[in-house]
Amino acid sequence: MSIEGKVALVTGATRGIGKAIAENLASQGAVVIGTATSEGGAAAISEYLASAGNSGKGLVLNVADAESIDSVVKAIQAEFGAIEILVNNAGITRDNLMMRMKDDEWDSVIDTNLTSVYRLAKGCLRGMTKARWGRIVSVSSVVASMGNAGQANYAAAKSGMEGFTRALARELGSRNVTVNCVAPGFIDTDMTSGLPEEHKANLQAQIPMNRLGKPEEIASVVGFLCSEGGAYITGETIQVNGGMYMA
Ligand code: NAD
């Protein structure tokens, strides 16, 4: 069995890790629906999927908004059928030291990075359990395990995502639905490109492989978990970080 023809939803697929994941799943033959936060972004996703010969498309989704999730999930199910692969990739950082952290910095990171995972999984569950086949993969972070000063909101959200994953894996194992996380280290994307050079150099010095990861190096692990090769892995968080953190 392969994932040929399976409907896959990848959030935050305009760029970076999400785009690489969408391209990986498309290369395995899944029908990929990638989401963006703007019409222009959705059109760009439709374009790269079409040029890869994929019959999926881009859609606008705000993962921090329950109504947006509800309407997008329903629209995909109506047009393509059950979503059998869900990749929760969309995420943000709003860094601040705890003394200075504002409620909206806390709330937006929890809503975008954690509550969205609960809402999207809930929206896709019925289709997966009915099909007795499903994959939920969420993109966590090494920060969930290591912590990072100034990122208490982000660490809480990503650790919550990992705990949620273990609980849901236990609920859904008997239905042949696997639930996992992939936790990247320091990856070369828009999320990290704006960091001060000195901070980047310090981070890189903590990586035994002495380089940043590439989005494709995260996507290949997500793609494996979605494939039949990963069929017996559930409840796990796979660390992909060049040795930065060893569990
Ligand atoms: P990125 O900023 O390039 O991509 C983030 C994506 O999320 C974008 O496509 C963006 O449009 C989308 N997004 C943001 N808010 C959204 C919302 N409210 N609704 C829908 N989509 C939204 O960064 P990236 O590095 O590609 O990040 C992808 C994932 O990887 C994130 O979950 C991030 O936390 C995680 N991660 C990244 C790194 C890294 O070093 N880059 C490390 C660990 C984890």
Query: What domain range includes position 194?
Result: 7-239
Provide the pLDDT for residue 149: 96
Q: Where are the alpha helices (DSSP H) in the chain?
A: 16-27, 39-51, 66-80, 103-110, 116-131, 143-146, 152-172, 190-193, 197-205, 215-226
Q: Is 100 annotated as a binding residue?
A: no
> Residue 17: what pLDDT?
98
Closest protein CA for atom 9 of ligand 1: 12
Q: Is 14 annotated in some ligand binding site?
A: yes
Number of domains in the chain: 1
What ipTM describes this predicted complex?
0.99
Residue 11 near residue 89 (C-beta atoms within 8 A): yes
Task: Output the pLDDT for position 148.
Answer: 96
CA neighbours closer than 13 Å in the CB half-sphere of residue 103 = 0
- Per-chain mean pLDDT for the chain: 97
Substitution site in 72, 191, 203 for ligand 1 pocket (most atoms within 8 Å of beta carbon): 191
For residues 213 and 185, the answer to whether their CB atoms sit within 8 Å is: yes
Give the pLDDT confidence of 129-167 residue by residue, as tens digits. 999 999 999 999 999 999 999 999 999 999 999 999 999
Mean pLDDT of 175-202: 95
State whether the beta carbon of 37 lies less than 6 angstroms from ligand 1. yes
- The percentage of the chain sitting over the pLDDT mark of 90, rounded to a whole number, equals 98
Q: Is 20 annotated as a binding residue?
A: no
Percent of the chain with pLDDT over 70: 100
Cβ-contact 88, 117 below 8 angstroms: yes
pLDDT tier, 247 (very low <50, low <70, confident <90, very high otherwise):
confident
Q: Give the tens place of pLDDT for each residue, 103-138.
A: 999 999 999 999 999 999 999 999 999 999 999 999
pLDDT band per the 50, 70, 90 thresholds, residue 200: very high
The dihedral through the CA atoms of 82, 87, 92, 95 has a sign that is positive
Contact 89, 140 (CB under 8 A): no
**Cβ-contact 10, 32 below 8 angstroms:** yes
Pair type for strands 31-36 and 7-10 = parallel
Residue whose CA is at the smallest distance from ligand 1 atom 11? 12
Q: Is residue 38 part of a domain?
A: yes
Nearest to 89 by CA among 71, 122, 112: 112
CA of 94 to the centre of ligand 1 (A): 12
Residue 82, token pair as written in the block: 């059950």
CATH number for 227? 3.40.50.720
For residue 107, being part of any structural domain is answered with yes
Mean pLDDT of 89-102: 98
CA of 117 to the centre of ligand 1 (A): 13
pLDDT digits (tens, 9 = 90+) for 167-179: 999 999 999 999 9
Residue 217, in any domain of the structure: yes
Which DSSP helix (H) or strand (E) runs through 11? none
Q: Which residue type occupies 3? A: I
Q: Mean of the pLDDT values across residues 55-62? A: 98
> Does residue 165 form part of some domain?
yes
Instruction: Say which DSSP state 142 is in.
Output: T
Residue 2: inside a domain, yes or no?
no
> How far apart are alpha carbons 85 and 215 in whole angstroms?
19
Tell me whether residue 1 is in a domain: no
